[in-house]
Structure 1
Amino acid sequence: MDWIRDNKPLAAILGVTLLGSLALGYLLFASWSEYTEASETYQAVGQQIGALKGERLSPTDANLKSKQAVVAEYSAQVNKLGAALLFLQTPAEPIKEIDFQAKLKTKISETRTQAAEKKMQLPADFAFGFEEYTGKLPVSAAAATELSGYLDALHELVQLLMKSGVQSVDLFQRSKLPIESQATAPQPANNNNNNFGRQVQGPAPISEKRQIVLNLTLDQGPLQLLVSRLTNPEDMKYFTSLRLLRIENEKQDGPLRKDVKIAPQDQNVLSGTPVQDTTKKEEVASDDIKPPAPAYEDTRQVFGSEPLKVRMEIDLVKFLDAAKGVAAQAPAGR
């Protein structure tokens, strides 16, 4: 007590600090208790919701009508999307076998001329992956029509490579279509209900993926531009999906010291020798303020400026007529 009387200010400060600590501890304990309770309640509710979602619907008329209404709305939206994709897709115009071959040769000649103007190198046997059709005709008019649409898409892709600044196309391959080996269109299977043990066919496919493999030589900027333009409908009017992208530096190892070419002015900078400008003339006295001459660069890039070697695998997506009624083809949910 004597110490408190002798040190009243300090005692008051200690008392206030002690009371504040007790109050803060109480608030912390209360907050932690509320948090624990709320967390347990949240987890319990989440488990209940998960259990309810996993349970089957009660077989009542109200639940049946509600589910049918939801499925019908979903089906309508899916079919609307499929019809919109077919509308946006560029259709393939009917063409005869001999006309397709003439079209292919014309496209090859025009593309080679344009590539030379853009300074983009093409393989010696470049033919958009249709090399075999430069000497023979497609198996049918239907195959020629599909190949013509395929050729239009690949021609658009090569044009995009030129616009993006690709230096060289080292490899250009495309997947073949099933119709290329079929002389006539396949006949639908006979679904006779009286056949015992018949195979039930699933819904018809709504899309077809055509794969294109490219090996390119280009810089980082053109690569970024090409990847962004592939998904931009203003630059690429066909549906594409970049499935694989592998990037390597053209040179895997750094240059040796003896292979680095250093300019004379850089030699002077490295050795500390002052550079003498022999071309400098006497300047006439003037009141004009002029900036000093730029100094020589003290660094020079010797690695990392080489082009990139890029392998791209692109899926060219074609939507089929079944996309209009894909929801109607799907089996009804149980």
Structure 2
Amino acid sequence: MDWIRENKPLAAILGVILAGSLALGYLLFDAWSSYTETKDGYLNLGSQVAGLKGSRLAPTEDNVKAKQALVDEYAALVNRLGGALLILQPPVQPIKDIEFQALLKTKIAEARKTAAASKMQLPPEFAFGFDEYTAGLPKSAAAAAELAVFLDAMDELVKLFMQCGVQSVDLLERSKLAVEQAQTTTSPPGSNATGMQVQQQSASAILEKRQISVILTLDQGPLQLLISRLANPSDMKFFTSLRQLRIENERQDGPLRSDVKLPAAPTPPDPSGGTTPAPAATDEIKAPPPAPVDSVPVIGKEFLKVRMEIDLIKFLDAAKGVAAQSPAAR
């Protein structure tokens, strides 16, 4: 300290030199770090460019031909699948309007008879959602043919409900077909199709979705079976897709205490003094009589209320050549 006091100018000069050296060292270190990062990035970019130039997907003539061959193979498989789907779905058979009405009434009578045998309840005005055609006729033969296929699908669906153990069908509605739009724009009085919108044909012209809305009362086991069989094409002749599923308990509130009733108590002995003869002695070992019931289940025995929105999918003729129309296949 004494030397600094005695040599203030020289100490100041040395301090400035030391501070400048530290600053220059920091700047040199920072510049070196930036240079290292830039160099590494440049080397990595060069490696990526070299890898892209030597990759198999380079835009060479051989690679273009190989890609085109793979695209053609994929398009052929897609078109083959579309043709198979058209073969698997039921074809549209020509039918007259009066024949469709007779077919509808016959299927309604058969469904009511089969439902009564399987103990499944149907709505009072049950007509598969075709209520307007019980008293009227389709406008054209083409409409009658499409409606007949739709009716067969609805009939298969109701039969599936019976096979799965559904307790009751509370509501069954369907969407309007494109061929019906020219007939009616509103539902006739007494129709079950309230709140249903006219179904528009798919813009892709590959498939058409026909919507079916149902409300069912059933147990958990039948519900699981029904969902499984709807997803299994071997159980349905028609392609179906479960679009929406809403499940709630049949009863939203718990039971009242007055609703819970225990089984009747056993009949007491005769008060008049009559005695029951004692059973004869025997060596046979018998189980003791069951204990009287002192409890009953209160919850867990109610059914489920299930609302389903099911899409009935119909593949159109354009599905057979859809891959050939794709820009990637050209």
TM-score by length of 2: 0.70
May I ask how many residue pairs the two structures share in their alignment?
254
1:310 to 300, 306, 309: 306
Q: How far, CA to CA, are the matches of 2:144 and 2:277 in structure 1?
A: 72
* Distance change in 2, residues 1:162/1:279 (3 Å): farther
Is 2:257 aligned against 1:257? yes
Deviation of the 1:292 alpha carbon: 3.4
Q: Residue type of the partner of 1:284?
A: A
Provide the rounded CA distance (Å) in 1 between the counterparts of 2:314 and 2:169.
24
Report the equivalent of 1:300: 296
Alignment check: 8 A CA contact 2:75 2:323 kept: yes
Does the 8 Å CA contact 1:204/1:329 hold for their aligned counterparts? no
Match of 1:77 in 2: 77
User: Is contact 2:206-2:316 (8 Å) kept?
Assistant: yes
Cα contact 2:170–2:215 (8 A) shared by 1: yes
Tell whether the 8 Å contact from 1:203 to 1:329 is kept in structure 2 after alignment: no
In structure 1, the residue corresponding to 2:328 is in which secondary structure?
coil
Q: CA deviation at 1:289?
A: 3.8
Separation in 2, partners of 1:60, 1:134:
67
Return the match for 1:331 from 315, 323, 327. 327
CA distance, structure 2, for counterparts of residue 216 and residue 281 of structure 1: 55
Percent identity between matched residues is 64
Quote the residue 1:65 is aligned against: 65
TM-score, length of structure 1 as denominator length: 0.69
1:203 positional shift? 8.9
1:291 corresponds in structure 2 to 287
Distance in 1 (alpha carbons) for counterparts of 2:158 and 2:313: 17
* 1:181 paired to 2:177: no
1:88 correspondence with 2:103? no
Shift of 1:182: 4.1
* Rounded Cα–Cα distance in structure 1 between residues aligned with 2:276 and 2:253: 40
Q: CA deviation at 1:263?
A: 2.6
Rg larger in structure: 2
Measure how far apart 1:178 and its partner are: 0.7
Q: CA deviation at 1:329?
A: 1.3
Structure 1 residues 258 and 134: CA distance shift in structure 2, 3 A: closer
- State the alpha-carbon separation in 2 of the partners of residues 218 and 292 from structure 1: 38
Deviations along 1:31-87, one digit per CA (max 9) or x if unpaired, are xxxxxxxxxxxxx9xxx8xx97xx995432112111101101111111111111111
2:316 to 297, 317, 320: 320
- Identify if the C-alpha distance between structure 1 residues 236 and 333 changes in structure 2 by more than 3 Å, giving closer, same or farther: closer
> Residue 79 and residue 265 in structure 1: after superposition, are their counterparts in 2 closer, same or farther (change >3 A)?
same
1:61 and 1:279 map into 2 onto residues whose CA distance is 107
Q: Is the 8 A contact 1:248 1:308 kept in 2?
A: yes
